[in-house]
Amino acid sequence: MKQFGKILKFELKYYFKNKIFVGVTIFLVLAIAAVMFFPRITALFETDDTSDTSTELSVMLVKADEPAQADMVKQAFATAFTDYDVQITDESNDTIKDKITSGDAECAFVMTDATAYTYYVNNLSMYDMNTEIANEVLQQIYQMNAMIGGGMTAEQATNVMNIQITSEVESLGKNQMENYFYTYIMIMALYMVILLYGQMVATNVATEKSSRAMEVLITSAKPTSMMFGKVLASCLAGFIQLVAVFGSALIFYNLNKSYWGDNMIIDSIFNIPPELLVYMLVFFILGFLIYAFMFGAVGSTASKLEDINTSVMPITMLFIIAFFVVMFSMSSGDVDNTIMVVCSYIPFTSPMSMFTRIAMSTVPWYEIAISIAILVGSTVGIGVLSAKIYRVGVLMYGTTPKISNIIKAVWKA
Amino acid sequence: MILELKNIDKSFGEKEVLKGVSFTAEGGKAFGLLGRNGAGKTTSIRILMNVFPANSGEVLVDGKPIDYDKIGIGYLPEERGLYPKKIIIDQLTYFAELKGMSRKDAVKSIDYWLERLGMTEYRNKRLDTLSKGNQQKIQLITALAHDPDIVILDEPFSGLDPVNAMLLKDVVKEQIAKGKIVLFSSHQMSYIEEFCDSIAILNNGVVALHGDLHDIKRDYPRDRLVVRTENSDAIKADFGSACSITESGDLLIQLSSADEKKAVMTRLVENYDVDEVRVFEPSLNDIFVEYAGDAAKED
């Protein structure tokens, strides 16, 4: 136990003295700061801009054969396109085109009929919604005219057109929309952290082995202490990194809360229900540990650092498959499908799939309990097994041993 | 203190590495564990250090099973290596703490050893900035800093220059004088011969020879004489085919029996100008080749 503490401390120090680890953490915090301060910064520029640009709206030309129609369209467009200076023109189409290409006007609607037009614009932007808006406005004008023609008063017609539907949504289970984003963030964070830190644990073990520091280590400390010390240190380091990143996100968000307004996504992320946060922690830590143990065991069987990437492939693949099952189920909206239910009991997939189900659906407590119990049991089991593999693996040099040989050696040891 | 390995068997898979290995090492004396590559030396050491258990057999200290919490073991592995990217004092403290020392004691002891080995200036440097010989001295500190009862040195002299080898010899003698068990494993027979009072030669997982080095040498038939002289030609003419020349250039006379020894010695001293006459004792090298080499041929 004493050794375990010392190993944990030593390994943890390794992370905090590692320039890359510190650098990545600082970079992430800065990136989060940039995102969180973004609305405040843009607001700063916007207040400067509005006073200048208000006098110079871009020009939108409207041309129609009948002056009455032109007038009506102009008025309707002027209310619909507030950021344009809508003007009537009776120039020829060629002159209009020239004006647009020269930049005197931004765009033009040339009406060929009450329900048909040609839209002229210089460069059609991907986000140009003008035709959609125009279609709607023209449709309304046509419908109004038709209703008035049919004998309604203008007032009646306007009321019909502007009828509002009131509705209320009451979700009896979970609101998937609201939970989607933080579930997504948690799954992504788990994915990134496990792959990143798992690789780090494997590399760490393999480095000790290839530098032969292992020869001294294995005679000084128990393999179980070594394995658990290493893995828990990486878990702590990862956790501290996440707390730094998400903690700073929370602080920066609160500093800039007023600028974010009623952004539903951001709001839902920072308002995770406490009980879900606890589940998140539990699944995160267990999921991290079970994979980190496997990565550590694999690292101990590699003789050279170069072998690591191929050795960890099966674990990485297993993890990526679990990740995609969860991701597809999340985007399909049905998180309680058979695969997800099965996955939420398999220890390697349950951290992601059971958490997703808890967050986005309603899962009975006993199912959660069973899933966590299986996960805890297998994490301890994998931990002990990985320490055994570690003890055998670190003394095997030469070519990376076959899995069957390792199993045999572990069995006999 | 007496360390005893008793009937140790160990196999890895189908391969039997140790077959009933037994040997005894005493405190205050150096013990040489010899054997060709793959004879089972490292496996014996690892079992002794509890890296893995033996299939059968016991490791005893003073007749009782070894208690690893009480008996400290220091180990200089043949495959050298520590953390190349870490500060020397940091990693040395870590290893000493793993062996059960408090941080304060560890730093104190390490500073003593850095001073003793002339390495104080490298205390706060990274290991990979040091030369190979200096890295080896640092590694030696991991074996000694926690003041172990048993010191195991695997090829301690390889890679050291004569000055450093001298320094290491002094350190080893000091450890022996402190009453510790110093266990050597080496292929450099001259060093073993210089230090070790008793030896065990391992061959294919079996102890081929075990005992006090002096006794082993005395047990050889004392029927050869080494003669150091300036007029070897005359002696050669006198003794004929019984004469041969040793590697060092001395004369070697084969007697028909050990009983003849006194008569021949007198004859030599009386008739010729002789600097030295002594009974030939085989070198450890000869013994090693005889026990480890011959048995290997039987395979």
DSSP strand pairing (A58-63 vs A84-88): parallel
Which of A7, A215, A390 would best serve as a mutation to test chain B binding (most B beta carbons within 10 A)? Answer: A215
Per-residue pLDDT tens listing for chain A (413 residues): 678 889 999 989 888 888 888 998 899 899 988 888 888 888 777 665 444 444 577 888 888 888 888 888 888 888 888 888 888 888 888 888 898 888 888 889 998 888 889 999 888 887 788 888 888 888 888 888 888 888 888 888 888 888 888 888 777 767 777 778 878 888 888 888 888 888 888 988 888 888 888 888 888 888 888 888 989 999 899 889 888 888 888 888 888 877 777 666 677 777 778 888 889 889 989 999 999 999 999 888 887 778 888 888 888 898 898 888 888 888 887 888 888 889 889 998 899 899 888 888 888 899 999 999 999 999 999 999 998 888 888 877 655 566 677 777 666 65
Per the listing, tokens 């986000």 go with A127
Please tell me the distance from the alpha carbon of residue A157 to that of residue A149, in angstroms, as a whole number.
10
3-state secondary structure of A358: helix
DSSP character string of B180-245? -EEEEE-S-HHHHHHH-SEEEEEETTEEEEEEEHHHHHHHS---EEEEEES-HHHHHHHHGGGEEE
CB B248 within 8 A of CB B228: no
Q: Which chain A residues are within 8 Å of B99, Cβ to Cβ?
A: 220
A278 sits in the region (left: phi over 0; alpha: psi -120 to 50; else beta) called alpha
Q: Which of B13, B49, B80 sits opposite A219 (nearest CB)?
A: B49
| CB interface of B with A, residues 31-50, below 8 Å | 46, 49
Two tokens, residue B52: 């893995």
B9: which strand partners?
A: B56
Per the CB < 8 Å rule, is A217 touching B98? yes
Nearest to A216 among B12, B52, B142 (CB): B142
Q: What is the pLDDT of residues B248-283, one digit of tens each?
A: 778 888 888 878 888 888 888 888 888 888 888 888
- Per the structure block, which two tokens stand in for B2? 């007496």
Taking CA–CA distances from B13, the nearest residue in chain A reads: A409
Give me the residues paired with residue A59 across strands. A85
Dihedral (CA of B168, B172, B178, B184) sign: positive
Residue B40 C-alpha, separation from nearest chain A C-alpha, in angstroms: 14
Selecting from A7, A218, A408 the residue whose C-beta is nearest the C-beta of B13 gives A408
CB contacts of A6 in chain B (<8 Å) are 94, 97-98
**Which of A364, A352, A357, A351 has its CA nearest to residue A333?**
A357
Output the pLDDT for position A233. 92
Q: How would you classify the pairing of strands B181-185 and B56-61?
A: unpaired
* Pairing outcome for strands A107-113 and A58-63: parallel
The helix or strand, by DSSP H or E, that contains position A113, with its residue range, turns out to be strand A107-113
Quick check: B80 contacting A, CB < 8 Å?
yes
Chain A contact present for B25, CB below 8 A? no
ipTM for the assembly = 0.76
Provide, as residue numbers in chain A, all residues whose Cβ is less than 8 Å from the Cβ of B49.
219
d(CA B167, CA B137): 10
For chains A and B, count residue pairs whose Cβ atoms are closer than 8 Å: 57
Q: How far is B49 from chain A (nearest CA, A)?
A: 6
Assessment of whether the complete model's pTM goes beyond 0.80: no
A408 chain-B contacts, CB cut-off 8 A: 13
Residue A48: what pLDDT? 54
For B134-181, the pLDDT digits (tens) are: 999 999 999 999 999 999 999 888 888 899 999 999 999 999 999 999
Asked if residue A121 lies in contact with residue A130, where contact means CB atoms within 8 angstroms, the answer is yes
Q: How far apart are CA A204 and CA A217, in angstroms?
A: 13
